[in-house]
């Protein structure tokens, strides 16, 4: 462990730490963020008498729209001059959301990322190939700072440019690689096309996240690269990467850095807190951030949380893989479908590649979904396309409870990811 004293802290002691930090955070936002002061006043909360964890659910929620409405710096709790770094989301749906970090925030962020790298199986001295995008996206610079802090030999390669990536992998022999699962998949494919198998590379550990991916995709990536692949989760509004990560020992759920981030799982409709183990919307309250503390931030991500002990010895609770985002849910003929449910069904067909995309169109007043998926190069000449299409349509109908169309396409015909994969083409 990178910080055994916190990572394996006794739960009662951890709760006391969280309590202290929560009270501090509430006082801080009340004093410095007019948005929170008025929300807290509306909820009848006086920071001086607020009792902490026992009253957590009295605190107001924060939504992505609040960050947008307060664009760019309205939710900052420090003067702008104390902010050392800004990051922002791509802003594909309207204004971007902007997040800020003080010097202390940058330290806490590098701490949780260093911790994440060790949890994944990284060690000081390892060469670390960082293929998360550098720039306003938090993935590249976040993991970079964590790796340097841990003492890794950090290669800031960023996303894209597959040929340059595999040349650097051959030349620098990284033991650890990080990137989005879709990009690392396509990088492995590009290596094979160039006559170099990723399994023969030096890479032993893969740290994949920033987009949803399935257990089937993990198996695919582990076999392709001959690695341990672990899931890393995070979001800019909370800090970036490093909020939670799987340990290489168990690879069964992601340990949340609970000394910095308080987690709840709520029913997104009733907003009630759900019992442990039930899937709902993840909600985070930051406990140590200075520039942009958030109270009960609604992530839109669906997952469950467990406090079952883990074989790695860490006591921090684990979240499940993200099952989907609330706003990615499709309603196909009245049936709710999450894009992530489709990946394992596609990947169960041995003749199909893991390269797929979902096309949503209007058909009268209904939505129609088509799954486009590439046949494997090796099956291309052998397979009966219409039988394969029917087989996948049947499997999708059986698993999703609704008919969707399938279009099996030629190898290499679908776009490859450079960072976060665009899985849904919305033609409505």
Told to check if 241 binds ligand DLL by CB under 6 A, we report: yes
Q: Of 33-41, 123-131, 225-233, 386-394, which segment contacts ligand DLL by CB under 6 A? A: 225-233
Among 232, 310, 337, 392, binds ligand DLL (CB under 6 A): 232
Told to check if 174 binds ligand DLL by CB under 6 A, we report: no
Told to check if 211 binds ligand DLL by CB under 6 A, we report: yes
Taking the complex as a whole, how short is the minimal distance between the CB of residue 94 and ligand DLL, in angstroms? 15
Nearer to ligand DLL, 6 or 235 (CB): 235
Taking the complex as a whole, how short is the minimal distance between the CB of residue 308 and ligand DLL, in angstroms? 20
Pairing of strands 424-426, 352-363: parallel
Q: Are 389 and 364 in contact (CB under 8 A)?
A: no
φ and ψ of 239, to 5 deg = -170, -35
Task: Supply 13's token pair.
Answer: 């002691």
Taking the complex as a whole, how short is the minimal distance between the CB of residue 398 and ligand DLL, in angstroms? 25
Among 102, 182, 236, 315, binds ligand DLL (CB under 6 A): 236
Pairing of strands 176-179, 127-130: parallel
Q: Are 359 and 344 in contact (CB under 8 A)?
A: no
Q: Are 147 and 129 in contact (CB under 8 A)?
A: no
Taking the complex as a whole, how short is the minimal distance between the CB of residue 298 and ligand DLL, in angstroms? 10
Q: Are 206 and 178 in contact (CB under 8 A)?
A: yes
Among 157, 205, 230, 235, binds ligand DLL (CB under 6 A): 235
Please work out the total of residues on this chain that contact ligand DLL, with binding judged by CB under 6 A.
Answer: 21
Q: Of 148-156, 228-236, 263-271, 351-359, which segment contacts ligand DLL by CB under 6 A? A: 228-236
Taking the complex as a whole, how short is the minimal distance between the CB of residue 382 and ligand DLL, in angstroms? 34
Q: How far apart are CA 210 and CA 81, in angstroms?
A: 30
Nearer to ligand DLL, 224 or 282 (CB): 282
Please, what's the b/e burial string for 152-175 (b: 16 or more CB within 10 A of its CB; e: otherwise)? bbbbbbbbeebeebbebbeeeebb
296 CA to centre of own chain = 18
Nearer to ligand DLL, 45 or 98 (CB): 98
Task: State the residue number with the nearest CB to ligand DLL.
Answer: 209
Taking the complex as a whole, how short is the minimal distance between the CB of residue 290 and ligand DLL, in angstroms? 19
Cα three-residue angle 247-250-253, rounded to 5 degrees: 70
Among 146, 174, 212, 339, binds ligand DLL (CB under 6 A): 212
Radius of gyration of the chain (CA): 22
Among 63, 325, 333, 368, binds ligand DLL (CB under 6 A): 325
Told to check if 253 binds ligand DLL by CB under 6 A, we report: no
Per-position x/- string for 267-306, each x denoting binding to ligand DLL as judged by CB under 6 A, each - no binding: --------------------------------x-x-----
User: Where in 72-91 is the site for ligand DLL (CB under 6 A)?
Assistant: 89
Q: How many CA atoms lie within 13 A of 28 on its CB side?
A: 21
How far, in Å, are 11, 255, 306, 420 from residue 14 at the CA level? 5, 14, 16, 34
39 CA to centre of own chain = 29
Among 36, 132, 248, 356, binds ligand DLL (CB under 6 A): 132
Told to check if 158 binds ligand DLL by CB under 6 A, we report: no
Strands (E), 171-303: 176-179, 205-209, 228-235, 240-246, 254-256, 261-266, 280-286, 297-303
3-state secondary structure of 324: strand
Taking the complex as a whole, how short is the minimal distance between the CB of residue 44 and ligand DLL, in angstroms? 30
Interacting residues toward ligand DLL by CB under 6 A: 89, 132, 137-139, 209-212, 231-236, 240-241, 299, 301, 322, 325
């Amino acid at each position: 462990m990178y910080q055994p004293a916190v990572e394996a802290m006794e739960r009662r002691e951890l709760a006391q730490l969280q309590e202290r930090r929560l009270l501090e955070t509430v006082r801080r936002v009340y004093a410095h963020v007019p948005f929170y002061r008025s929300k807290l006043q509306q909820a009848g909360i006086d920071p001086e008498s607020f009792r902490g964890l026992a009253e957590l659910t009295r605190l107001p929620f924060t939504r992505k729209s609040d960050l947008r409405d307060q664009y760019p710096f309205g939710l900052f709790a420090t003067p702008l001059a104390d902010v050392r770094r800004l990051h922002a989301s791509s802003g594909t749906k309207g204004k971007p959301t902007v997040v800020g970090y003080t010097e202390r925030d940058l330290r806490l962020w590098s701490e949780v990322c260093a911790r994440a790298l060790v949890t994944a199986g990284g060690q000081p001295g390892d060469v670390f190939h960082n293929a998360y995008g550098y720039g306003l996206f938090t993935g590249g610079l976040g993991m970079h700072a964590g790796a340097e802090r841990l003492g890794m030999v950090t290669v800031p390669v960023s996303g894209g440019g597959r040929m340059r990536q595999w040349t650097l992998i051959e030349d620098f022999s990284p033991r650890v690689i990080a990137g989005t699962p879709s990009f690392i998949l396509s990088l492995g494919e590009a290596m094979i096309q160039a006559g170099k198998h990723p399994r023969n590379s030096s890479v032993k550990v893969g740290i994949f996240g920033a987009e949803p991916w399935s257990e089937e995709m993990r198996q695919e990536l582990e076999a392709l690269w001959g690695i341990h692949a672990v899931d890393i989760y995070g979001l800019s509004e909370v800090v970036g990467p490093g909020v939670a990560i799987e340990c290489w020992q168990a690879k069964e759920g992601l340990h949340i850095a609970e000394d910095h981030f308080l987690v709840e799982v709520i029913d997104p409709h009733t907003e009630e807190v759900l019992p442990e183990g039930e899937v709902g919307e993840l909600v985070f309250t930051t406990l140590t951030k200075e520039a942009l503390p958030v109270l009960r931030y609604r992530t839109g991500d669906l997952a469950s949380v467990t406090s079952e002990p883990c074989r790695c010895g860490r006591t921090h609770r684990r979240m499940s893989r993200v099952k989907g985002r609330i706003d990615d849910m499709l309603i196909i003929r009245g049936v709710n479908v999450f894009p992530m449910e489709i990946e394992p069904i596609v990947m169960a067909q041995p003749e199909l590649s893991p390269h797929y995309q979902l096309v949503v169109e209007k058909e009268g007043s209904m939505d129609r979904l088509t799954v486009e998926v590439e046949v494997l190069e090796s099956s291309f000449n052998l397979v009966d396309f219409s039988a394969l299409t029917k087989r996948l349509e049947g499997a999708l109908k059986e698993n999703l409870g609704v008919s969707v169309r399938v279009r099996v396409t030629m190898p290499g015909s679908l776009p490859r990811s450079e960072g976060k994969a665009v899985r849904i083409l919305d033609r409505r």
